[in-house]
Amino acid sequence: MKYILGLSCYYHDSAAALLADGVIVAAAQQERFSRIKHDAAFPVDAIRYCLAEAGISLADVSAVVFYDKPLLKFERLLETFMAHAPRGFASFVRAMPVWLKEKLFLKTVLRRELRALQAESDAALPQLLFSQHHQAHAASAYYPSPFDKAVVLCLDGVGEWVTSSVWLGEANQLTSLKEIRFPHSLGLLYSAFTQYCGFKVNSGEYKLMGLAPYGEPRYVDMIYRELIDVKADGSFSLNMRYFDYPVGNRMINRRFEALFGGPALAFNATPEQKHLDLARSVQQVVEEVVLKIVRHATALTGCRNLCLAGGVALNCVANGRILADNACDALWVQPASGDAGGALGAAMLAWHRFYQQPRLPVSAGDAMQGALLGPAFSNQQIEQQLQQLGLPYQRLSAERRNPAVAQLLADGAVVGCFQGRMEFGPRALGNRSILADARSADMQRLLNLKIKQRESFRPFAPAVLAEQAADYFELQHSSPYMLLVAQLKSQHCVTAETKLSGLAQQQQLRSTLPAITHVDYSARLQTVDAQHQPAFYAVLQAFYQLTGCPVLINTSFNVRGEPPVCTPADAIAGFLATDMDYLLLQDCLLTKAEQPSAAIAKARQRQFTPD
């Protein structure tokens, strides 16, 4: 048995992934263990988990593969600073100490960290390999996909030099076809507007996407005229006069602010109509550029199977547009599309290219195992924890469990659901989720303000039984990883009696499933089948049998400023600290009304920082 450990770290969203003879054994982000959102540190806890899941030590690993080439990244930084000298000197001085101390000598740093993991062992360290950033993204998208041949599109902020790349995957080969290099980046363009609209770069982009439907595309022509030049094949360049990110502290500069009539919105301030319109405009531009790239790539290769990775692949509105516009015949998106997925891609790249191993036949739609690749906990472990904390609960039998949860949800309760293995990637897929009834008109407001402690404009995603999805949504494609947006079918829509604008639109009833229907009648949906998510499927099936509705709200089990929960202790703390009504821990059900007031008060003393 040959084990390969993939790592991503030191930038953001560090993670570890472990393969055994090319099969994924485990994968997890470091943030889930450290409880530091987007943790960039060496993923020591994620590595320990992966090794424990396989029942091995580091000495059993043949190779450790890092998802980046630090010397190429250092080359980019030096060249960029020199090109902008002397203006970039302050940024250069800030960046150099950490590079000269650690990042430039990353091989030494990684060996030191790995040696610490071995503790008392004298065994030799595994072979240390490095992939290029976009190569790891492409590998994470193609190798686990269901396709024997596919076009692979990777779009993100920046790797070493590359910001956008097109590849052809065939058998166990990945061939680079085209690329766009820094500073011209679709991801960084989107991040610039993220910052201008008052959200945090590298974590607030999904908020900008959620804000977009409230606005009008008034600035599309201006963005094309002033900020980005796009060719017919989708290649593009940015007008760098408006951006400060190559050497500055901010994404944008004063010219950018002057172009759009004033300074950037303060962090977490309430967006005005201008910001809604800007969000809508840049979203439209990104969708149009992505469509041009996809159409050119499929024409170039004659292949209409498409795989996506990179941070921009988490833009599920753009992904849905690719399908709606028939830009490809079949689409597969890596569920951990961001840097965390680079750990998995690096490991798979080593298996298929360095060790020249063939791809294995895929029997379950893809090789990601439903992205359920994190730790699981037994009823015994959970009960021991509950008893130690002195928290009352009831143990549900297998026959009672799902019907009981379905009844609670139908009665309007909010239920934290903790079961099976934790998801890999940013989306909760039913195992670390908060569930509620999508038919409730008040549920979006309740969840946003009292449970998730986040902005009221943000929509919630529906989970729907796969076999019923076409009855509710305009999508003839599976979406097991919640990475596609589709329109609600017209028979479920309600026309608003009055025409409102801006954020006031969220007050209007739009459908028979108001809690998951966005202002443009769209939803970011998860199709749930018994093969990929059997435990969650059983809950949904029980709710459908009880109510006749196969749709539930599914949002990640976390509170603002924290990553999704990993352990029973994390879930219990989140349950007690919010207005959640019930918590399902495997087969153990906790009722909020029965919990000791002292435990609730202690949990609610925790301070959650804005995300």
Question: Rounded to an integer, what distance in angstroms lies between the CA atom of residue 343 and that of residue 322?
Answer: 26
- pLDDT tens digits for range 222-257: 999 999 999 999 999 999 999 998 887 899 999 999
List, in sequence order, every residue forming a beta bridge with 308; answer none if it has no partner. Answer: 153, 333
pLDDT for the residue numbered 453 = 73
Burial grade of 118 (CB within 10 A; 0-12, 13-18, 19 or more): middle
Distance CA 223, CA 50 (A): 45
Contact 207, 199 (CB under 8 A): yes
- pLDDT band of 329, cuts 50, 70, 90: very high
Q: How many CB atoms lie within 10 A of CB 302?
A: 9
Amino acid of residue 349: L
User: So what's the pLDDT on residue 429?
Assistant: 97
What CA–CA distances, in Å, run from 456 to 20, 354, 392, 448? 44, 48, 33, 6
HEC letters along 278-303 = HHHHHHHHHHHHHHHHHHHHHHHHCC
pLDDT band at residue 83 using 50, 70 and 90 as cut-offs = low
Mean pLDDT for the stretch of residues 280-303: 98
> What are 537-573's pLDDT values in tens digits?
999 999 999 999 999 999 999 987 899 999 999 999 9
Structural domains in the chain, sorted by start: 3-137+339-369 (3.30.420.40), 179-333 (3.30.420.40), 379-603 (3.90.870.20)
pLDDT computed for residue 93 by the predictor? 61
Q: Which residues contact 251 (CB under 8 A, 6 or more apart)?
A: 188, 191, 192, 194, 195, 196, 201, 243, 244, 245
pLDDT for residue 50:
98
Q: What sign does the CA torsion over 334, 335, 340, 346 have? A: negative
CA atoms of 100 and 604, how far apart (whole Å):
43
Tell me what pLDDT residue 458 has.
77
Contact call for residues 438 and 464 (beta carbons, < 8 A):
no
- Mean pLDDT is highest, among 62-76, 92-106, 372-386, for 372-386
Reduce the secondary structure of 390-434 to three states and give it as a string.
CCCCEECCHHHHHHHHHHHHHCCCCEEEECCCCECCCCCCCCEEE
Residue 414 has which token pair? Answer: 């909010």
Residue of higher predicted confidence among 87 and 526: 526
91-95, 110-114, 239-243, 519-523, range with greatest mean pLDDT: 239-243
pLDDT value at residue 86: 62
Check residue 456 and give its pLDDT: 72
Nearest Cα residue to 194 out of 292, 314, 89, 93 = 314
Residues 6+ apart with CB under 8 A from 326: none
- Is the pLDDT confidence value at 102 over 70? no
Mean pLDDT, residues 327-335: 97
Question: How far does CA 30 lie from the centroid of its chain?
Answer: 14
Question: Looking at residue 578, what is its pLDDT?
Answer: 92
Higher confidence at residue 71 or residue 292? 292
Asked whether the predicted pLDDT for residue 609 surpasses 50, the reply is no
pLDDT of residue 218 exceeding 70: yes
pLDDT at 100 over 70: no
Is the pLDDT at 605 greater than 90, yes or no? Answer: no
pLDDT digits over 127-178, tens only?
A: 999 999 999 999 999 999 999 999 999 999 998 899 999 999 999 999 999 9
Tokens of 302: 């004659």
Contacts of 471 (CB under 8 A, 6+ apart): 489, 550
Residue 608 has pLDDT above 50, yes or no: no
What is the rounded distance in angstroms from the CA atom of residue 77 to the CA atom of residue 309? 24
3-state secondary structure at position 485? strand
Round the average pLDDT of the chain to a whole number and report it: 92
Q: Which residues, 6+ apart, have CB-to-CB distance to 589 below 8 Å? A: 393, 394, 395, 396, 404, 405, 582, 583
- The pLDDT-based confidence of 610 (bands split at 50, 70, 90) is very low
Lowest mean pLDDT among 4-13, 120-129, 164-173, 576-585: 120-129
Find tokens 């990637």 and name the residue.
425
Q: The pTM is what?
A: 0.94
Give the pLDDT band (50/70/90) at residue 611. Answer: very low
CB atoms within 10 A of CB 492: 16
Position 311 confidence tier, pLDDT thresholds 50, 70, 90: very high
Alpha-carbon distance of 462 to 475, in angstroms, equals: 13
Q: How far apart (Å, rounded) are the C-alpha atoms in residues 610 and 71?
A: 34
Residue type, 237: S
Q: What pLDDT, on a 0 to 100 scale, did the predictor assign at position 454? A: 73
